[in-house]
Structure 1
Amino acid sequence: MANTLLNLRKDPYTIEYLATQNDYKYQKVIEDYKLSDVIKWKDTIVREGSEYFTKSKYKYKRIIAIGDIHGDYEKLKNVLRHAKLIDKNNKWIATDTALVQVGDLTDRGAGFKKIMELLKKLRDEAKKKKSAVFMLLGNHELFDMQAGYFVLQKSDFDAFGGYLERERALSMDDMYGQLLRKEMNVTMLIDDNLFVHAGLRYKYAKKGIDELNKRAHDILTNVPSFDELLDDYYNKDKTHPLYSDYVFDMIDGPLWTDFFSSAPSDEVCEELEKVLKVTKAKRMIVGHTIQDYGRIRTNCHKKLIFIDIALSNCIGDYFGYLEILNDKKQIWTRYE
């Protein structure tokens, strides 16, 4: 993969051509008729009862979990307003509430820059309301930092001033890059809930959440420029941990694995129980794998919750999120 991506990075004309084609491609998707125009779901309770909420005290009364956004800035704002996290002026208004976005803010849609700016602002505002905003890394954030430009629009590049300027913005020289590389985690345990983009296999979970996040941050904050990677790695037939380390593994890694969505259910649930035990969580909440017809789904007696419902207007244009009410001992799926 490193050779494929770095080889493309050497060719600015191909980068520009692909990005321009993606502008046309995704605009057509946005304009096309969508099933989300006719398929509407009702709010549904997922879990209820003290047996599923065992702690005597939780850090947050409420947790809102949002799946993959993929550059749809307007959809993100609408979801945040529907969840009563922000007002009409995009100011944070919720108290004792955590917002968790499980990765893939970027790619496809062109609103990544605005999304990052909004979430960074809200993170600061939320602290004043005894609240918090958490953003996890997804495989597409990683893809951006690996020079994976195949699904980016030219209008996304243009928002930063061009693809080279976008690279600089996502490096450690800029606030966007510092947020991605230093502060966005691979996985997190928030109250009873284990959050991760694609899924946490037991072989990773037993290493410890803190170790996984530290390893990812150490690698991402010490990556040379792409020009240096080309000179020191690609041209010398070497690789870099950014492309090869286990925490970023494309088969079973926490940003990429499809085990929890594609393996036989009995195997998935057996693995999940081991993961929950070692992380001391009650459930695992993931994105990454798009759920059919914009509906949040569960497995393993509702201990595994899939919340990627193709929110972006470049994919499915559905609407929904997960709401965990610790004070009422309830978990809900919320729809428009």
Structure 2
Amino acid sequence: MITSRFRITLCASLIFASQISAAESTSKEVISDGPYIDVHASALTVNWICNDQVKRKQVNLEGVSLPYGFTDCGLTANTSQLTFDKQLIEFQGVKRVAALSDLHGQYDLMLTLLKNNGIINAQNQWAFGDGHFVITGDIFDRGDKVTEILWFIHDLEKQAEQAGGKIHLLLGNHEVMVLNGDLRYLHPKYVKAEKLLETPFDQLFNQDTILGRWLRSKPVLVKINDHLYAHGGFHPQLAEDKVTLDTINKTFKSHLVEKELPKKREGFARYLHKTHGPIWYRGYFKDDGATAEELDLLLKHFDVNHIVVGHTSQKKIETRFKGKVIAIDSSIKRGKYGEVLFIENGKHERGTLEGKRKPLMK
């Protein structure tokens, strides 16, 4: 008879063996990745990989005017700024909102989903006008086109602003993990990339890089009209303690990367970065999680009617608590399917991968 302990050990061994096999397979594959752009006082250092070959060049800032565009080996990047302001977290009077979550490196599927649902056009340019587009975190890990998604959203963000719209990229647990050097979910491609670049993956997004600075400017939550968005959610204790959204965001962000702090996180900052914090909380999906009364307390405290979260995977966009919680992690990470939530004129709809609008059932 096989004991439970032996089964667990055997399963763990098989999983570990499959991970090694995947890493070995990718290490034999030729990869291209980047660019990773470091900012210096008078120049940019651009690093990328083209067909397993590391490429580097210096761009003299005195001789180039922003925006700066990069194109090489099928890789592209455009940036119009080298520093980034902290983002606002409350908006009212927004007429149209779209939201999705947990892209996890699935660049091609993301493009298909956004094109078919009118967020971008056939040329991959912003097409959502003055609408607001929320991404509740987790671009990093699992998939093999993380860098492509980051630069795409970085560029699309500026296009949206020029059209009177807005993109709200929120931090998910995988962004925070990578920034803090927790690389356990890296796709094997990026394990190879960091070896070729001779730089730990998290250091490719340090404070002296464009993408690193950009990510550090992003909030962990946003409130638009009567909807509150976060990657994981909000523990009822936050409402009981009457903690404001501003306090949650500022405390979380000021303790974002622990190795960049004078000392380790403690107290409320530590609480926010753990299981009950906004990037990890799963209490809306557990039998022993938040109760209906506790959820109503949260909604009343934050003065919203709905909380919109990713993090916990569903087959499609679904609701909990009679539509008060909307779960938008539609398992894009598997690379097969995904959906976009649309909110307009008080109506909620699911945008399917094919671009069909379907009602969101409570």
TM-score range, shorter chain: 0.7 to 0.9
- Deviation for aligned residue 1:163: 6.7
- Deviation for aligned residue 1:215: 1.4
Alignment of 1:216 onto 2:223: no
Q: Distance in 2 between matches of 1:241 and 1:120?
A: 32
Structure 2 residue identity aligned to 1:80: L
Gap change, CA 1:316 and 1:128, over 3 Å in 2: closer
Cα-to-partner distance string for 1:169-221 (whole Å, 9 max, x where unaligned): 3111111111222x221111111110011111132353211111111221226
Alignment of 1:247 onto 2:272: yes
Which structure has more relative contact order (CA 8 Å, sep 6+)? It is: 1
Q: Unaligned stretches of 5+ in structure 1? A: 1-16, 26-56, 234-238
Q: Unaligned stretches of 5+ in structure 2? A: 1-17, 27-90, 355-362
Gap change, CA 1:20 and 1:186, over 3 Å in 2: farther
More strand as a share of residues: 2
**Contact (CA 8 Å) 2:106, 2:335: kept in 1 or not?**
no
The one of 289, 292, 304 aligned to 2:312? 289
| Structure 2 equivalent of residue 331 of structure 1 | 348
Q: Distance in 2 between matches of 1:115 and 1:95?
A: 21
**Contact (CA 8 Å) 2:130, 2:160: kept in 1 or not?**
no
Alignment of 1:62 onto 2:96: yes
Gap change, CA 1:134 and 1:70, over 3 Å in 2: same
Where do 1:1-336 residues align within 5 Å? 21-22=22-23, 24=25, 58-158=92-192, 162=197, 164=199, 166-181=201-216, 183-205=217-239, 206-220=242-256, 223-224=259-260, 239-240=264-265, 245-249=270-274, 251-264=275-288, 267-291=290-314, 294-312=315-333, 315=334, 317-325=336-344, 328-335=345-352, 336=354
Gap change, CA 1:222 and 1:90, over 3 Å in 2: same
More helix as a share of residues: 1
Gap change, CA 1:252 and 1:158, over 3 Å in 2: same
Question: For 2:255, what is the secondary structure of its paired residue?
Answer: helix
Count of residues in Structure 1 that have an aligned counterpart in Structure 2: 269
Q: Distance in 2 between matches of 1:151 and 1:262?
A: 24
Q: Distance in 2 between matches of 1:203 and 1:94?
A: 37
Max radius of gyration: which structure?
2
Question: For 1:319, what is the secondary structure of its paired residue?
Answer: coil
| Structure 2 equivalent of residue 30 of structure 1 | none
Structure 2 residue identity aligned to 1:297: E
Q: Distance in 1 between matches of 2:113 and 2:248?
A: 30
Q: Distance in 2 between matches of 1:60 and 1:142?
A: 28
Q: Distance in 1 between matches of 2:248 and 2:23?
A: 34
Q: Distance in 2 between matches of 1:146 and 1:176?
A: 15
TM-score, structure 1 length as denominator?
Answer: 0.72
